[in-house]
């Protein structure tokens, strides 16, 4: 899943929507304050449909020449150094994500593709305090801390789109990354602190994205909204003005993400929907 940090809008159900031009999906929402830094955050994101998993982080400081992150064991896991004109202009906000290896044996994947099971991933990225640091021109050091947890919300289920309203239900597993039974085993082994079906969802992120070829400007017209995790009716109405802005016979895909209290996120996506159907989507 290609991710870009976006400005999200959190609105009550049916009260409004955020129309976003650009890629999607989830926005890393940082912890404030973060020691000497303005912001810092680390989280886990899972694409339950594709069956892949990744680590993301954000740090934000003033006039930095370098940045580093150490994990709870003290191991350095990231380092960046500004050079040339970037060093003159300084670093402020830094957002990055790891590669997203498959967490299951996908029969359609390249046989040489790396498989990192959920348990292996959690061992690679231990829960605990991640220390962020940056250095300025005069050697002044800015530091901050954030907590990475292994509280992973379950993947949304039963995604549907009737041409106007996107609906879904709360799920009880992590899709292709781990079944309900596999997750129960990980909880019993204390690899996971709680079963994903029991992890509180702080917000639902809902995305409608044109499923077009690269280079097609229609692909930049993305509807993206966050609504409260405790809404009773899990549904979002897509604005008619937005749908009318899409060309006839536009194929689209729907993504819904469960965002945990600690910002760990699990997404489910479904394609094969057609907007403004005339002759039919290919």
Mean pLDDT confidence for 36-61: 94
In a domain, residue 8? The reply is no
* Sign, Cα dihedral of 170, 174, 175, 181: negative
Within a domain: 281: no
**Average confidence (pLDDT) over 39-61:** 95
Average pLDDT, the chain: 88
Q: How many domains does the chain have?
A: 1
Decide: 190 and 126 in contact? Cβ < 8 Å.
Answer: no
Q: Is the pLDDT of residue 4 over 60?
A: no
When mean pLDDT is compared across 126-140, 166-180, 187-201, the lowest value belongs to: 126-140
Range of the domain at 249: 18-275
Q: Do 153 and 266 touch, CB atoms closer than 8 A? A: yes
Per-residue confidence (pLDDT) for residue 282, from 0 to 100: 76
Domain assignment present for 13: no
Instruction: Specify if 213 maps to a domain.
Output: yes
Predicted confidence (pLDDT) at residue 11 exceeds the cutoff of 80 = no
Q: Model confidence over 12-32: pLDDT tens digits?
A: 333 333 333 233 344 455 555
- What pLDDT score does 54 carry? 97
**Does position 277 have pLDDT exceeding 60, yes or no?**
yes
Q: Are 34 and 10 in contact (CB under 8 A)?
A: no
How far is CA 251 from each of CA 14, 48, 71, rounded to the nearest angstrom?
24, 21, 42
* Whether the predicted pLDDT of 9 surpasses 60: no
Mean pLDDT, range 252-260, rounded to an integer: 97
Residue 140: its pLDDT value, please?
A: 82
Query: Are 165 and 240 within 8 A, CB to CB?
Result: no
pLDDT for position 103: 94
Is 2 inside a domain boundary? no
**Residue 187: inside a domain:** yes
Closest listed residue to residue 198, CA positions, set 210, 209, 186, 208: 186
CA–CA dist 1, 85 (Å, integer): 32
Decide if 269 is inside a domain.
Answer: yes
* More confident: 277 or 8: 277
CATH number, residue 234 = 2.60.40.10
């Amino acid at each position: 899943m290609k991710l870009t940090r976006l400005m999200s809008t959190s609105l009550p159900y049916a009260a409004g929507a955020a129309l976003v031009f650009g890629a999607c999906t989830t926005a890393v929402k940082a912890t404030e304050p973060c020691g000497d830094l303005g912001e810092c955050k680390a989280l886990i994101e899972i694409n339950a449909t594709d069956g892949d998993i990744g680590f993301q982080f954000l740090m934000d400081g003033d006039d930095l020449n370098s940045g580093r992150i150490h994990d709870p064991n003290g191991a350095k896991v990231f380092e960046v150094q500004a050079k040339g004109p970037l060093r003159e202009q300084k670093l402020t906000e830094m957002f990055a994500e790891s590669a997203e290896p498959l967490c299951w044996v996908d029969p359609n994947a390249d046989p040489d593709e790396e498989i990192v099971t959920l348990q292996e991933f959690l061992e690679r990225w231990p829960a605990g305090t991640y220390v962020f640091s940056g250095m300025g021109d005069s050697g002044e050091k800015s530091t901050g801390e954030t907590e990475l947890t292994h509280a992973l919300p379950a993947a949304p289920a039963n995604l549907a789109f009737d041409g106007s309203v996107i609906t879904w239900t709360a799920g009880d597993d992590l899709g292709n990354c781990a079944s309900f039974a596999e997750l129960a085993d990980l909880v019993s082994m204390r690899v996971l602190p709680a079963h994903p079906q029991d992890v509180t969802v702080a917000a639902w992120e809902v995305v409608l994205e044109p499923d077009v070829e690269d280079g097609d400007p229609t692909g930049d017209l993305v509807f993206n909204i966050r609504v409260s995790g405790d809404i009773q009716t899990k549904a979002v109405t897509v604005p008619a003005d937005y749908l009318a802005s899409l060309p006839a016979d536009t194929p689209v895909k729907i993504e819904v993400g469960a965002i945990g209290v600690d910002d760990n996120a699990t997404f489910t996506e479904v394609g094969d929907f057609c907007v403004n159907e005339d002759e039919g989507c290919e």
